[in-house]
Copies of this chain bind each other. A is one copy, B any other.
């Protein structure tokens, strides 16, 4: 086998995508419109420019930017140099942003000028020595000595030759915040990104029209590009050569109009983002037929799916996490099935090609039988380690399976449904209650905009559920809503959908339910607020 080996690297994803995309557009909202040839040229210029600054194998280059074509350029150019792209989560606290930059060992930072203040705060208390490249450089004193992104590109060689890169070279690096401890660094190699790209494209291509992503679709991420490389879909979209639209900083009022104006047909987001978008669409009476939206990150409540359907969207669930690149499960739903039973859209469905999913405690004999347990995974694209953190890596990979920390239920068809995070499940009277199930039920009350449920220690039962309610705009009596919620729970209990002891002991009314930096319910914060 000495003669020839073709590595699975991002080089071929870009090259193949450009051949397919050609003059198809890549659009940044309120920004530039490129075609694939121009993207390719800019990636090569960026590669040349970074290479002249000394970026090469082992260099870590951080990016701090909204969702733009520049970010897409960085997705390719940095890993194609053999360097690592570190995507900075700007929604973290200043201390944690600093921590992630320091922990990852970044030497170069590409940063949009509007992050000047954050940059100043981070650097004020850090020994980091960064070469800084500024996007949209202005007069901000922070960046006085920094280089300008476009000036660098303009001066760089568009026919730059990227070096050959071993497929096991780390391509991307970012941080995930868990429920405890400091953020964990997750890394992906070229090989992992490429196999993920192929398998996601395969699964989405062969899927029913209702949820397919194919040539002719128009793509726009609504998961930030700093978060698990926007779920890896920009790589899939680029390889397909489809039109791509980048929304910049998310403006929830503008987003439905971008979808309409640019003809977007495929997006993905967490439930909280979909919720906000639907709010705005409903206020304007806007419908967006044919807009397929994969929802993940947290379970999609059936009430949210129903609401999206009423605005003519095609929502469906996917599943993954920072540690899984991320997609490993996807709903498999046709329009007929969605019409007959919209709740199916909320199940995370079936493993992608080449993915093994299992429940903790499965034996070879019952590997397909219906039961509940912690969801485990194996696939060619799961993170192999937490960066410089052997202890938590060992926990993650206990027994040779990646432990997701999620409880899932598997039905007779082998379809998975997420029950809850292990840490969020309520253990009451020796039984488990899913906080997700209770939240979904609360959302069925017409006055409830957002809901969260956490466990409160209880002497008799071990734990008991406590519900948090954010009301919709309008005037409501808290006691009446509480009584209404109890009625909703009684009905569900009478129908056998929930156990007798499922009704939260108390409902607390709050102005805001705290969210994590990626838009998930922040139950850690809720527990802290309760002094737990």
Contacts and interface: CB of A to CB of B under 8 A. Distances in A.
A356 interface: yes
Contact of A384 (B5, B12, B400): B5
A8 interface: yes
A355 interface: yes
Contact of A385 (B3, B159, B207, B240): B3
Q: 5 nearest interchain CB pairs? A: A205-B205, A198-B198, A205-B206, A6-B380, A206-B214
Given A16-B353, A19-B414, A350-B20, A205 B201 contact: yes
Given A15-B356, A159-B364, A3 B397 contact: yes
Interface string A102-129: 0000000000000000000000000000
Interface string A1-29: 11111111000110110011010000000
A286 interface: no
Contacts of A240: 206
A247 to B, nearest CB: 23
Nearest to A215: B206
Interface in A338-371: 350-351, 353-356, 364, 368
Copies of this chain in its oligomeric complex: 2
Contacts of A3: 384-385, 393, 397
A198 B22 contact: no
A90 interface: no
Interface string A384-412: 11000000010001001010000000000
Contact of A4 (B1, B204, B397): B397
Contacts of A381: 6
A378 interface: yes
A195 B8 contact: yes
A189 interface: yes
B19 A354 contact: no
A202 interface: yes
A281 interface: no
Given A1-B189, A4-B382, A354 B12 contact: yes
Contact of A202 (B15, B198, B384): B198
A109 to B, nearest CB: 26
